[in-house]
A and B are shown apart, each in its own frame.
Chain A
Amino acid sequence: MAFLVLGRRVWLGIALGALLVNAPISSSPAAAAATAAGNTIAPFVAAELLRRVGFRREIDRLRDAIAIVFLAALSSMLISATVGAGTLLLSGAIPAGDFPGAWAVWWTGDAMGVLVVAPFLLSLLSFRGPSKGSWKRRAEAAGLFVLLTLATLAVVRTHLHLLFLVLPLLGWAAWRFQQRGAAPGALLVAGIATWAAARGLGPFEGGTLFARMLTLQAFNATVAFASFVFAALVSERMRARQSLELAAAGLETRVRERTAALSTANERLTREIGVRREVEGKLRERERQLAEAQQVALFGSWEWLIPEDRVTWSDEMYRIHGHEPQAFPLDLARAVEQVVEDDLERIRRNTEAALRSGGNHDIPTIEYRIVRSDLAERVLVGKARLMVGPTGEPLRMVGTVQDITDDRQAEREHRIAATLQRSLLPDRLPEIPGVTLAARYVPATTGLEIGGDWYDVLQLPNGHVGVGIGDVAGHGLPAASTMGQLRMALRAYAMEEESPARVVIRLHQLVQKLPISEMATLVYLVFDPDSGSVTYANAGHPPPLAIPAEGDPSYLQEGLAPPLGAAPAPDLYTESVFQLVNGSTLLLFTDGLVERRGVSLREGLERLRNEARAVGPELDLLCDHLLGSFLGKDASDDVALIALRPIAFVGEPLRLRVAAEPRALAPMRHTLRRWLRSVDADPEETYEIVLACGEACANAIQHPYGVGDGVVEIDLDLVGGEVRVTVRDVGTWRVPARRDGGRGLTLMRGFMDEVDVETGSGGTVVRMRRRLRAPAR
């Protein structure tokens, strides 16, 4: 046992142990030494034999069980039995006749020790470490051992030969717990049997010592052998099953891993195929795009192989020249045969110069014209590069050609539209007595197109002021020309119709008749400086904004109707009246001011309402402020805005500059009346002073049918309850014409307290005074 566990080197310890055990019971020291030697050699031989056959201490194989029974117990113990019994015989401890009996007792004792005790001790080693058994299993083990003890005690106490009854219980222990059950079980049974045999109980009653020992040994050997073999078999089968399961599990894992690897590989492959397909698709797409791009850009490419004088053109090159793609083969002469004579000469010179100069280099860009077979002339821009061989000989020339005919056309149209646009907007606002005005037009900066925003300010015969602002959708020449037509039509209708709704209706009817495809919106309003009322009509345009000197601005949003030409019935265009309080400003604008991508028109209008709040007295500053805060660097739409504010007379002198033409007189009279009312002149005085001023101006004005572009300045001032009038013109004083029968001066003198006419080289000045009845407040 110790040899098995600790190895050969422990022989000395074993020998000493055996000597100490044998010394007191031996007849002489020599006999004790001989017995100890036998007792040491026997287990040493047993351990060596077991080691040789590859014995495993767990005794979990059939061969281990057989080895321990036959090699260790039965064979090796022959040595100790023979040596021991021999020593007893030789030392005279036993008579010769007792030798077989002593030998048998010795042999069976040692063999039983090996069979019963050694496996048990070995099995104890396998108990080391934490117990893995469950409660059930422990209960089963305990129950089993109690049962085994009781059964063994029962069979050794009866005279019946029933010792074999314990075998099923041992089989149970071996089956359920292998060597851990079999070895202690065998030890227990053997122990009890030995105890019974020593006492001569039950089956061991009677007979010789040899016969009892033989029976006991046979029984113990059977018990041990059966237990070990059975336990080993069970262990072996369990191990086999485990390794089988392990192998199966391993196989399963490997299959799973392999499957996963395969599916990964498969996915990668699928992906690669997809990618490759995509790349191929992209490549084909690129080729198609290149061809399309050439077609869209009217962009062709060519190559000239110089030594063999062969020219190849891209498809688009053929199309630019008015041919089917690849319609015919080309050489240089054929390639340039459509070029206009003068330009061909330039191309020849360029080419020759390029060939002469040698080396790889770019040839200067050239613009030239070709005539197609349908006689259409196209303007082309060509770029080329020369490639030479190793010795500098010209090999080939490659180049591109772009058809820029449409661009040239577009540039021309753009110039015309820009000119038209400029000519259509008032270059300066008219000076209208009683109102101040400011206007701005900002063209779109992104894109070179001309917009269709416009505005106009009209002095109406009845002293009212007409203000129109409009937007023709679309850009370029068509929009600009539509806008021009609308603006002129507005001027004409505004002179004839007092009602803004009527003016808008007539514009609507005009638009319906004109071939105008663009949408046109418009706000037209008439401001009456006398009453401060604003009458307005709106055809689909952003509403005008009234900005009071203090408080919240508000939109004039009544009567909104569809854009011009879009209303199903003209009576949809109506007008509304808004009362402009003193100091208020009226702002008209186009949607380019407030409309931004991603911002609703409503939000834009709300923002404008906030930005316009509490404007200063300077309308120009208001306009600049609004443009500054609403327009970024890139205005995508053009913007027009116009601001109007009535001039409030508060005892200020009146300064008027009016055109020296008859139609300027009526509006001037309106302004004069307003001013005179403000200084508390009564209606009669007002009429008479206005009449005197009118007569003075009429003298300054050129003949109604002549050409007049002069200016008349009229100043009115109230000094000490007296109205002082100065009318100044820069023309020459005309002798009162027959048209008034010379009554003008008569009337002036008749109604004014004092009239003084002073004619100089620079013009004529008429000074008049009239004292008012009511003192000025």
Chain B
Amino acid sequence: MNDLARVQVEEDSGRCILRIQGEIDISNAREVLSTIQASVPNGAQAIFVDLTETTYLDSSGVHLLVMLADRLRVRRQELSLVVPSGGPIRALLEVAGVPKVIPMRDHLDAE
């Protein structure tokens, strides 16, 4: 789809996991957003965006996540982020104040 980032979708008993590999900046944020939106099935209640393999994320990526969380909330679907703690993405999301808006966890299986 895009030369910078790749989105993998995985469905598992009501959970939908979206793995984002690569980089997200203003050149592809809008594209990634529409890809994710098109990939999320209406039936899934818990949506996880896994940023473990994401190598770069800037403010447009943050904006993307916040927008996604808003839209899913309208559809009564809950978005959570999987971000390893101690990594630069975690730091960035914290500086941007994302944890106040979107729940965040270290691993997919951890609570």
Contact = CB atoms under 8 A, between A and B. Distances in A.
Interface stretch (A242-250, A422-430, A473-481, A663-671): A663-671
A683 to B, nearest CB: 7
A747 B59 contact: yes
A688 B62 contact: no
Nearest to B57: A691
Contact of B91 (A495, A688, A739): A688
Given A666-B27, A743-B63, A694 B88 contact: no
A666 B4 contact: yes
A684 B26 contact: no
Given A495-B3, A662-B27, A750 B60 contact: no
A394 B101 CA distance: 107
A463 B52 CA distance: 21
A662 B92 contact: no
A741 interface: yes
B95 A698 contact: no
Contact of B63 (A462, A690, A694, A741): A741
B47 to A, nearest CB: 20
Given A669-B56, A739-B63, A747 B95 contact: yes
B66 A695 contact: no
Given A698-B26, A740-B63, A691 B4 contact: no
B100 to A, nearest CB: 13
Contacts of B50: none
Contact of A663 (B27, B29, B30, B91): B27
A140 interface: no
A743 B62 CA distance: 8
A194 to B, nearest CB: 152
A743 B27 contact: no
A221 B25 CA distance: 158
Contacts of B27: 662-663, 665-666, 704
Contact of B96 (A662, A688, A698, A747): A747
B4 to A, nearest CB: 6
B58 interface: yes
B3 A741 contact: no
Interface string B40-77: 00000000000000001011101100100000000000
A495 B3 CA distance: 7
A193 B58 CA distance: 164
Interface in B8-37: 23, 25-27, 29-30
Contacts of A701: 26
B88 A683 contact: yes
A743 B59 contact: yes
Contacts of B95: 746-747, 750-751
A688 B26 CA distance: 17
A618 to B, nearest CB: 33
A739 B58 contact: no
A694 B25 contact: yes
Contacts of B29: 739
A338 to B, nearest CB: 62
A687 interface: yes
Nearest to B62: A743
B29 to A, nearest CB: 7
Nearest to A704: B26
A740 B60 contact: yes
A688 B56 CA distance: 10
Contact of B88 (A662, A687, A739): A687
Contacts of A739: 26, 29-30, 60, 63
B7 to A, nearest CB: 16
A621 B92 CA distance: 46
Interface in A448-463: 460-462
A331 interface: no
Interface in A638-684: 662-663, 665-666, 669, 683-684
A496 interface: yes
Given A665-B27, A669-B56, A739-B29, A688 B88 contact: yes
Interface of A: 460-462, 495-496, 662-663, 665-666, 669, 683-684, 687-688, 690-691, 694-695, 698, 701, 704, 738-741, 743-744, 746-747, 750-751
25 contacts: A461-B4, A462-B4, A495-B3, A496-B3, A665-B27, A669-B23, A684-B91, A687-B88, A690-B56, A691-B58, A695-B59, A698-B26, A698-B59, A704-B27, A738-B63, A739-B26, A740-B26, A740-B58, A740-B63, A743-B59, A744-B58, A746-B97, A750-B95, A750-B96, A751-B92
Given A684-B88, A751-B95, 18 more contacts: A462-B3, A496-B3, A662-B25, A665-B27, A666-B23, A669-B56, A690-B56, A694-B25, A698-B25, A738-B63, A740-B58, A740-B59, A743-B59, A746-B96, A747-B92, A747-B96, A750-B95, A750-B96
Q: Which 3 A-B pairs have the closest CB atoms?
A: A662-B27, A740-B59, A750-B95
